[in-house]
Amino acid sequence: MAVDAIVLKQIKHKDPKQRRKAIVAMANSRDASVLATLKEVAASDPEPSLRLVAEKAQSYIQDQIAKAAQPEAERKPKDGEDEFVVSDRAKEMARAYMDEAMSLIVSKDNDKAIQSLVKALKANPNLRSDMYFTNLAGSVFDSTAEVAMEKLMSKAEVKAFVKNAQAGKAQKRWEEHKKKTEEIGLLAMWLDLGVFGVVMGLIAFLTPYVFVQILNSALAYQTSLSPEEFKEQIIRLPADWQQTVDVFQQLNIGSTLVLALVVAAMGIVYLLIYGSMVHEVASRFMRGNGTMRYMLCQIVPDFSMGAAISFVIFCIALGTFSVGAGFIGAYCLLPIAFLFALGVFRGASGKIAEAYDFGFMKGILLTLVINFIVGPLSFIIFNMILTALMAVLLPGSAAPAG
C-alpha cells in the first residue's frame, strides 16, 4: 500500500505526536519506498523515542517484504497451527494493538505492552506465525520468539508477567520517591511547616485590628441607615457582632502576639496530625507507596497559600458591608472563596495521590475521609483552646463567638 503525500508531510511535523502517527502509518503501509525516509528519521529525529520507533518500523517493513517474497509453501503456518479466517476489521484492530504495543515497548511500559499484544492475538490469531508480532513478544518477554509466544498464549504466564512488571515499576517508583525524600531532607519539611505557622500567626495577629476597623465601619453604616433603608438591605450584620468588636478592642500588642504564637503552634500541630493520619491510612489501608515527609512538602505550601488568600478574600467580602455592598460580598466573593478552597482541596488530593503512587480518585477519597475525621475534632479542640486563651488574656470579658 503506497504512502500518500499527507503522511510524508506529517513525518516533518513539529509535533512529536504527529510524527509518531506518520511513522506508524508508514509501518502499516509495508511500502519499501518509505524505508529511506524512515532511515533518515531514525538518524536525525530530535526525539530519541521516535528514532527507536522508526528503526522498529524499518525492521517491520523489511520483515514483511521478505515474508511476502517467500514461496507460498514456506509462508504456511507451522505444524499443529491452524489458519484462522479473520475479517479485515479484526486485522485492522490487531494491527492497531500491535502499534500500541510497539509504542509501549519503546516507553518501557511492558506490562501494558503485553496486554496490547494479547488483545492483538485475540483479534487475529494468525499473528502467532507473524514474524514482526513474535519479535515484539520476544522483546517484551526478553526471550526467543518461540518461548515468548508460548508464554503469551498462557493466561497464567501473562498474569504472572504483568504482576511482576507492575511490582517492578512500583519498586522503581518507590526507590525514586525515597531518593527524592532524602534529597528534600527534614529541614525542608520543617521549613514548610514553619512558613504555614507564620502565615497562620500573621492572620491571627492581624485579625483583631482588621476586623475592628471593618466591623466598626460596617456597623456604623448600618446604624446610619433609616429604618426604611435598613429594611431594604438584603444582607445585614447581626447587632451582637458589636460585642466581638468590643472584645478585640481590648487586646493589646502583647496579648495579640501571644494569640498569634498559639495559633501558629496549633496550625503546625494540626498539619502534623493531619499528615500522620493521611500517611497511616494511605500506607496501611490503601497500599500506598510513599513517605509522610515527601507528602507534607507537597501539600503544606498549598495550605499556606490557601489560608492567606482566603483571609484576604474574607476581609474584602466583609468590607463590602461597610459601603452598602454586602450583597456582592455575600453572594459573589464568598462563593469565590469557596471555589478557591475547593481548588486547594482538589490540588492537595492530587498531590497526596501522587505522593503515595495511587489514583486521583483514591486521593480524593482519602482527603475526604481525613477531613471528615480531623476537621470537626480540630475545630472543637482549637475553639476550646482559643476560648480559654481569651479568658486568660482578657479576664472578665466574654470571648468572641468562635
User: Can you read off the three cell numbers belonging to residue 226?
Assistant: 433609616
Radius of gyration of the chain (CA): 33
pLDDT per residue as tens digits for the range 161-181:
888 887 887 777 778 777 877
Higher pLDDT, 328 or 143: 143
CA distance 356 to 119: 30
* 62 to 31, 72, 293: CA distances (angstroms): 9, 18, 53
Provide the 3-class DSSP secondary structure of residue 267.
helix
10-31 in b/e form (b: 16+ CB < 10 A) is: bbeeeeeeebbbbbbbbbbbbb
H-helix or E-strand containing 32? none
Report the pLDDT averaged over residues 290-308: 90
| DSSP sequence for 333-375 | IHHHHHHHHHHHHHHHHHHHHHHTT--HHHHHHHHHHHHHHHH
Query: Are 45 and 57 within 8 A, CB to CB?
Result: no
DSSP annotation string for 189-211: HHHHHHHHHHHHHHHHHHHHHHH
> According to the model, what pLDDT value does residue 396 have?
57
Residue 327 has pLDDT above 70, yes or no: no
- Cβ(329)–Cβ(319) below 8 Å: yes
Q: What pLDDT sits at residue 73?
A: 40
Cβ neighbours around 193 below 10 Å, total: 21
72: which 3 cell numbers? 507460498
**Residue 74: which pLDDT band, with cuts at 50, 70 and 90?**
very low
Residue 289's H or E segment, with its range, is none
Mean pLDDT of the chain: 81
Render pLDDT for 196-223 as a digit per residue (tens, 0 to 9). Answer: 999 999 999 998 888 777 777 776 766 7
Q: Report pLDDT digits (tens) over 107-124.
A: 678 888 889 999 998 898
Stretch 261-284: mean pLDDT, rounded? 93
Q: What is the DSSP letter of 82?
A: P
C-alpha closest to that of 189 among 369, 355, 372, 353: 355
* Cα–Cα distance for residue pair 125/121, rounded to 1 Å: 5
Statement: residue 330 has pLDDT above 90: no
For the chain, the first-to-last Cα distance in angstroms comes to 76
Residue with cell 493466561: 155
